[in-house]
Amino acid sequence: MVLSDRETIYALGTPAPSRAAPGALSVIRLSGPRATDALIFLTERHAFERGHSARDPALPEPRRMTVRTLREPVSGEAIDRGLIVWFEAPNTETGETMAELHLHGGRAVVNGALAAIAQLGFCRLAEPGEFTRRAFENNKLGLTEAEAIADLVAAETDQQRRLALQQMDGGLHRLYEDWRTLGLSALAHLEAAIDFPDEDLPAGLGAHVIEQITRLRGEIASHLEDKRGERLREGLHIAIIGPPNAGKSSLLNLLARRDAAIVSDIAGTTRDVIEVHLDLGGWPVVLADTAGLRASSDTIEQEGVRRARVRADQADLRLLVLDATSDWKGDMAALVQQTARWDAARDIVVVNKTDLKPAEAIGIVPLSATSGAGLPDLLGRLERSAAALMEEGGAPPLTRARHREALLDAQAALARALIAPEVALAAEDLRLAMRALGRITGTVRIDELLDVIFRDFCIGK
Ligand SMILES: Nc1nc2c(ncn2[C@@H]2O[C@H](COP(=O)(O)OP(=O)(O)OP(=O)(O)O)[C@@H](O)[C@H]2O)c(=O)[nH]1
Ligand SMILES: [Mg+2]
């Protein structure tokens, strides 16, 4: 992307109105030094021909919404009557002068207004993510905050929204910058040792520096292990497991409120893993139905059982579904024992078909997937388990693969620094580690990386 701060850019900030879905309102935003000229030429008759405003002041006060008729600059034909507002640089979102046109949301209005701005000849359509990029260039926000805005727009559940808002506050930015500060102070010690070798400094890295690097590595390592951010972005993985015919697929359909999986009285109906996406009390969830766990001579069913076990191990949470009309206590003991990652505190045992035979025991959730009896209790348990998984630890969670990659680079460089044979080499590795951290927040600029990131931020792409 070629960047020119002097150009005034514009874009429709709301979804493009379609015939099927016109909006009540559409908002066009402009940013750049001539944003207010655009407002004058679009709202004051003949101003464009004259090349200046006849009235003084032709513009409303900044930050004050004002009703104006929007006109084609050349013909003077009215396009819409709407609200205009402008904001003075530098206290704006992009750091430049900004203007907004709040118009009626019809296609002809929006297309007419966009064409009118183009006619002015001194504004150009913004490239994807360009408003955010300008905000970043003008130090209005860091990269992690910009990513948080993209996350906020993409958020589908309450909890995703909460995390995005937290990140917009800069919690993640501060965490990474604190680490960078710590690393840079260790680096300053090393550089002193290099620059003044004759001074009475300890040989090698010195205990203080080793302690700092080790602490940094430890903090980054636990941050990398924290899966909350990934779970919030991609969904908490919940696996439904249990013996054949217990009603696993019936439960999936009940929770999904649709017939996603085939239900039948033939044991061994489900073979492949079937996934549905749900919102469970604000937590995004990927719920997986799996094949009934049993020894089988059918090779396809064997593969299904293998996949079910893999899913059970990979999932964040397991729902063990048992059949109340069978020896469910025996099945429970056997299956819990076979499930490598069973966690008694969080994983949930559901005893299904209680319409046929009641079931009671401490800790289990009795359910009838056919009547829905017991569903509220099960939902309550699921939400509590989800909340327990998500709320561990106070630090802001890792949310993006991009951050993970940079943190892994930083970790590797820190590990090399600790075993470097010379102080100069250790310093070089430490510098690389700090660069990797700076890449996350944007403190260290890498233009090709920024191009990719900002293109990704484009709303409605
Ligand atoms: N009475 C009663 N029948 C149920 C209940 N839940 C499921 N069933 C029936 O039990 C049978 C098996 O249900 P599925 O949901 O296919 O069971 P599954 O655990 O997915 O079975 P596999 O895929 O073969 O492992 C079907 O005939 C369902 O209608 C229930 O709560 N009460
Ligand atoms: Mg099934």
* Residue environment code for 151-163, b if the CB has 16+ CB neighbours within 10 A, otherwise e: bbeebebebbbeb
User: What pLDDT, on the 0 to 100 scale, is given for residue 201?
Assistant: 55
Ligand 1 neighbour 356 (Cβ under 6 A):
yes
Ligand 1 neighbour 294 (Cβ under 6 A):
no
Cβ(418)–Cβ(209) under 8 Å?
no
CA pair distance 370, 347, nearest whole angstrom: 22
User: What pLDDT, on the 0 to 100 scale, is given for residue 184?
Assistant: 93
* In the predicted structure, residue 1 carries a pLDDT above the cut 80: no
**Vertex 386, ends 384 and 392: CA angle to 5°?**
95
Distance 252 CA to ligand 2 centre (A): 9
**Vertex 8, ends 83 and 68: CA angle to 5°?**
15
Cβ(39)–Cβ(82) under 8 Å?
no
Give the least confident one: 58-72, 79-93, 216-230. 216-230
Whether the model pTM is above 0.85: no
CA pair distance 157, 281, nearest whole angstrom: 8
Amino acid at 224: L
Ligand nearest the Cα atom of residue 357: 1
Amino acid at 351: V
Atom of ligand 1 nearest to the CA of 266: 24
Which comes out higher in pLDDT, residue 20 or 69? Answer: 69
**Tens digits of per-residue pLDDT, 171-195?**
889 999 999 999 999 999 888 877 7
Ligand 1 neighbour 353 (Cβ under 6 A):
yes
CA pair distance 23, 344, nearest whole angstrom: 50
DSSP designation for 391: S
User: What pLDDT, on the 0 to 100 scale, is given for residue 168?
Assistant: 87
- E-strand ranges in 32-125 read 66-71, 78-87, 98-105, 123-125
Could you identify the residue written with the tokens 């070629």?
2
Cis peptide bond N-terminal to 90, omega within 30: yes
**Tens digits of per-residue pLDDT, 95-142?**
999 999 999 999 999 999 999 999 999 999 999 889 999 999 999 988
- E-strand ranges in 32-142 read 66-71, 78-87, 98-105, 123-125
Ligand 1 neighbour 374 (Cβ under 6 A):
no
**Tens digits of per-residue pLDDT, 395-409?**
788 888 889 999 999
Distance 267 CA to ligand 1 centre (A): 9
The protein residues having their C-beta less than 5 angstroms from ligand 2 (an ion) are 248-249, 269-270
Which whole number is the average pLDDT over 332-345? 93
Atom of ligand 1 nearest to the CA of 367: 31
**Tens digits of per-residue pLDDT, 49-83?**
888 887 777 899 999 999 999 999 999 999 999 99
**Phi and psi angles of residue 277, each rounded to the nearest 5 degrees, phi first:** -100, 130
User: What pLDDT, on the 0 to 100 scale, is given for residue 198?
Assistant: 64
Question: By alpha-carbon position, which residue is closest to atom 16 of ligand 1?
Answer: 263
**Dihedral (CA of 411, 177, 223, 276) sign:** negative
Which residue out of 240, 241, 249, 255 has the highest number of ligand 1 atoms within 8 Å of its CB and is therefore the one to mutate? 249
Ligand 1 neighbour 247 (Cβ under 6 A):
yes
Question: By alpha-carbon position, which residue is closest to atom 7 of ligand 1?
Answer: 247
**Which residues share a beta bridge with 31?**
9, 98
User: What pLDDT, on the 0 to 100 scale, is given for residue 199?
Assistant: 61
Half-sphere exposure of 128 (CA within 13 A, CB side): 13
Task: Read off the pLDDT band of 26 (50, 70, 90).
Answer: very high
User: What pLDDT, on the 0 to 100 scale, is given for residue 414?
Assistant: 96
Q: Which of 296, 293, 320, 295 is nearest to 307 (CA)?
A: 293
Half-sphere exposure of 92 (CA within 13 A, CB side): 25
Atom of ligand 1 nearest to the CA of 246: 19
Atom of ligand 1 nearest to the CA of 292: 25
**Which residues share a beta bridge with 284?**
279
